[in-house]
């Protein structure tokens, strides 16, 4: 597992590059890693809907539960499913649309300078051993490729947007994750 810093791609990921991203602002070094969770519909795993959402192809008319994502333009750099499989939607050096209105340590617009990783899960369901293992391996590669990302600059979506987000939630074991690093 490596990151090709020229292409911004993780060599072992399935590459599903979306159109839902843009360029980072000039002078915005990559310096933050944000951990998220997602499941569509909420609490259901393994279906095609998360990939469809990040590819901009989600048909929200299929299920009433998907209406929450109607009109949403969202993306992430990486998605790690329950089995530890990694999909990459946005090259790391590009700006994914994962954080929304956000701020970290007084610096607004986290999408400008962060990498986002979505874990297939919910705030309240334990994450899998495979997810922790792969997340820690990916994080090590990210920290090596982007040295401004340190342990102090890894956070959850709930920290950068606390008034509107709760993920990765209380089920995410931060201690276990940091011990694996």
User: Looking at the annotation, which residues are catalytic?
Assistant: 118
| Cis before 90? omega within 30 | no
Token pair belonging to 181: 């690093």
The residues that bridge with 156 in the sheet, in sequence order, are 35
Q: How many CB atoms lie within 10 A of CB 65?
A: 14
Distance in angstroms between the alpha carbons of the first and the last residue of the chain? 15
**Rg of the Cα atoms in the chain:** 15
Whole-number Cα distances in Å, 72 to 13, 135, 175: 24, 26, 32
Q: How far apart are CA 75 and CA 130, in angstroms?
A: 22
Least Cα distance to 98 among 81, 117, 84 occurs for 117
């Amino acid at each position: 597992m490596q990151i090709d810093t020229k292409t911004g791609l993780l060599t072992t990921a399935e590459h599903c590059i979306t159109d839902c991203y843009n360029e980072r602002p000039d002078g915005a070094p990559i310096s933050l890693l944000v951990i998220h969770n997602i499941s569509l519909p909420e609490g259901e795993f393994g279906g095609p809907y998360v990939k469809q959402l990040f590819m901009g192809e989600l048909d929200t008319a299929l299920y009433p539960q998907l209406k929450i994502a109607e009109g949403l333009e969202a993306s992430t750099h990486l998605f790690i499913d329950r089995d530890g499989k990694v999909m990459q939607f946005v090259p790391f050096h590009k700006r994914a649309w994962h954080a929304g209105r956000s701020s970290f340590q007084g610096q607004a617009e986290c999408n400008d300078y962060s990498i986002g990783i979505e874990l297939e899960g919910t705030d309240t369901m334990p994450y899998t051993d495979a997810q922790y293992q792969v997340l820690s391996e990916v994080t090590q590669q990210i920290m090596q490729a982007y040295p401004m990302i340190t342990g102090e600059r890894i956070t959850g979506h709930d920290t950068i947007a606390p008034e509107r987000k709760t993920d990765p939630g209380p089920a995410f074991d931060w201690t276990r994750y940091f011990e694996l690093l």
